[in-house]
């Protein structure tokens, strides 16, 4: 594939997520949105389909998807929720379940999650619990969702005490990625998605990291070849990590690089000031700095990652806060065991280690930042 092609690639890319009886495919191609109905038929589905989406996507893309489903003979209903992280609550799960029950959805009925990570997590969780689980298909429309949240089966909602505290593993039956949808994505959201791609480079693929260093300009210009390349590579990495450790007992934890600090920042900001990818970018920069402070990685790793984060236009600085605020918010994370959060720390570009965090060590690092300013 040419690195600079501006013509939308017509070839369809397939990535397999090998999980025995829960295996599924990720398909990536411009224009796939118009083919959702046929793809569901090909999987053997028929009958009722609910498209869960938000108000923005309902206006932009829901008609295309519903038209395609109807053309393939499906009986469709659409469930529209407000926009943003604030709908990732049990109350909105309940609204969706109510609509599914009233529309007499059954075990064989299908739910389509059409939207960003918020919709995927929320709708996926509703699919996981309705009649103890109905099949669902991810049709992600943000870069975060196309490179990360639509793959791997983590579904769930937030609790005021912490992010994603309520949830379930429920793998989709298919992921259909149409990169053309990114053309309507607000620039801030596109840039936030690049944080997750940088994450894959840092945790597993030095070559992807170098590619991002070379192609950041093309990516910010939304050139089709590079955009499709980073989506495909990200999905391949995520699929292989998930295949090795579906339920996050070990290796999958590396996908949480940047999230120990990132999730704390999101919940301290009450999910309003920073969007997910931005919080992850700050988290990665701070966690790499911590890794260097404790002697795990070199200053060069911190500098290269920091440069790429800034090149992408992502934030890197910790907002003003005290040590106790940050450490306190980190205690409410799912990744805490016996009061100690774990942290994913880079050793070098493309390789990380997972280590428990001691309060004293973290406090010392936090204080050292002030003296370096
Ligand atoms: P999002 O779902 O809130 O979408 C961002 C905004 O973009 C919304 O306003 C949405 O309406 C709009 N939008 C979506 N697609 C659009 C398009 N094509 N054109 C125009 N506007 C569009 O945010 P997100 O960044 O996609 O997802 C963040 C969420 O994903 C967080 O809740 C995070 O916890 C979760 N997440 C989950 C996983 C997982 O493995 N399950 C992984 C990463 C993130
Ligand atoms: N986004 C982290 C994971 O899917 O495990």
Mean predicted lDDT score pLDDT of the chain: 94
Does 154 sit in the ligand 2 pocket, CB within 6 Å? yes
Rounded to an integer, what distance in angstroms lies between the CA atom of residue 206 and that of residue 118? 29
Strands of the sheet with 351-356, listed across from one edge: 336-337, 340-348, 351-356
Known catalytic residue at 256: yes
Cβ proximity of 218 and 226 under 8 Å: yes
Most informative mutation of 61, 118, 200 for ligand 1 (most atoms within 8 A of CB): 118
Q: Catalytic residue at 248?
A: yes
Q: Which residue has the higher pLDDT, 3 or 29?
A: 29
Share of the chain above pLDDT 70, in %: 96
pLDDT at 337 over 80: no
Closest of 347, 309, 349 to residue 208, by C-alpha = 349
Q: Which of 62, 85, 180, 196 is catalytic?
A: 196
Note if 132 is an active site residue: yes
| 120 Cβ contact list (under 8 Å, min separation 6) | 113, 138, 140, 145, 149, 150, 155
CA–CA separation, 284 and 282 (whole Å): 6
Nearest CA to ligand 2 atom 3: 255
- Report how far apart, in Å, the C-alpha atoms of 169 and of each of 156, 172, 182, 229 are: 8, 10, 27, 27
Tell me which of 238, 253, 293, 304 is the catalytic residue. 238
> Is the pLDDT assigned to residue 292 strictly greater than 50?
yes
Q: For this structure, is 85 an active site residue?
A: no
371 pLDDT band (50/70/90 cuts)?
Answer: confident
Nearest protein Cα to ligand 2, atom 2: 255
* SS3 state at 201: helix
User: Given this model, what pLDDT does residue 303 score?
Assistant: 98
CA of 255 to the centre of ligand 2 (A): 5
User: Model pTM?
Assistant: 0.95
Closest ligand to residue 86's CA: 1
Is residue 6 scored above 60 in pLDDT? no
List domains and CATH numbers for the chain: 3-184 (3.40.50.1970), 187-371 (1.20.1090.10)
353 alpha-carbon distance from chain centroid: 21
Nearest ligand, measured from the Cα of 59: 1
pLDDT for res 234: 98
Residue 126 above 90 pLDDT?
A: yes
Whether pLDDT at 2 is above 50:
no
Catalytic annotation on 163? Answer: no
Burial of 189 (0-12, 13-18, 19+ CB in 10 A): buried
> Residue 295 — φ and ψ, nearest 5°?
90, 15
């Amino acid at each position: 594939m040419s690195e600079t092609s501006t013509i939308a690639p017509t070839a369809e890319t397939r990535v397999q997520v090998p999980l025995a009886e829960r295996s599924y495919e990720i398909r990536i191609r411009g224009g796939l949105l118009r083919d959702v109905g046929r793809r569901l038929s090909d999987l053997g589905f028929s009958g009722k389909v609910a498209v869960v989406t938000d108000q923005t996507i309902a206006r932009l893309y829901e008609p295309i998807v519903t038209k395609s489903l109807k053309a393939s003979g499906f009986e469709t209903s659409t469930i529209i929720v407000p926009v943003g992280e604030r709908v990732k609550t049990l109350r909105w799960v309940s609204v969706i379940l109510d609509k599914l029950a009233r529309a007499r959805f059954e075990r064989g009925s299908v739910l389509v999650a059409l939207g960003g990570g918020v919709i995927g997590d929320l709708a996926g969780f509703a699919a996981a619990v309705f009649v103890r689980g109905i099949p669902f298909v991810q049709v992600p429309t943000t870069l975060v969702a196309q490179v990360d949240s639509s793959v791997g089966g983590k579904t769930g909602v937030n609790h005021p005490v912490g992010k994603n505290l309520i949830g379930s593993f429920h793998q989709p039956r298919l992921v259909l990625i149409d990169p053309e949808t990114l053309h309507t994505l607000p620039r801030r959201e596109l840039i936030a998605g690049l944080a997750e791609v940088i994450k894959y480079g840092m945790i597993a693929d030095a070559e992807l990291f170098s590619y991002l260093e070379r192609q950041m300009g093309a990516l910010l210009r939304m050139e089709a070849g590079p955009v499709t390349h980073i989506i495909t590579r990200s999905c391949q990495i995520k699929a292989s990590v998930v295949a090795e450790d579906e339920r996050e007992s070990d290796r999958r934890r590396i996908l949480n690089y940047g999230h120990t600090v990132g999730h704390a920042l999101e919940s301290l900001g009450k999910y309003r000031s920073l969007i997910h990818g931005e919080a992850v970018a700050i988290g990665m920069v701070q966690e790499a700095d911590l890794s260097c402070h404790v002697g795990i990685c070199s200053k060069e790793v911190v500098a290269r990652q920091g440069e790429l984060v800034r090149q992408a236009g992502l934030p890197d600085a910790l907002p003003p806060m005290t040590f106790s605020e940050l450490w306190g918010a980190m205690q409410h994370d799912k990744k805490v065991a016996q009061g100690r959060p774990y942290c994913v720390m880079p050793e070098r570009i493309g390789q990380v280690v997972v280590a428990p965090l001691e309060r004293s060590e973290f406090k010392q690092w936090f204080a050292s930042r002030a003296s370096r300013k």
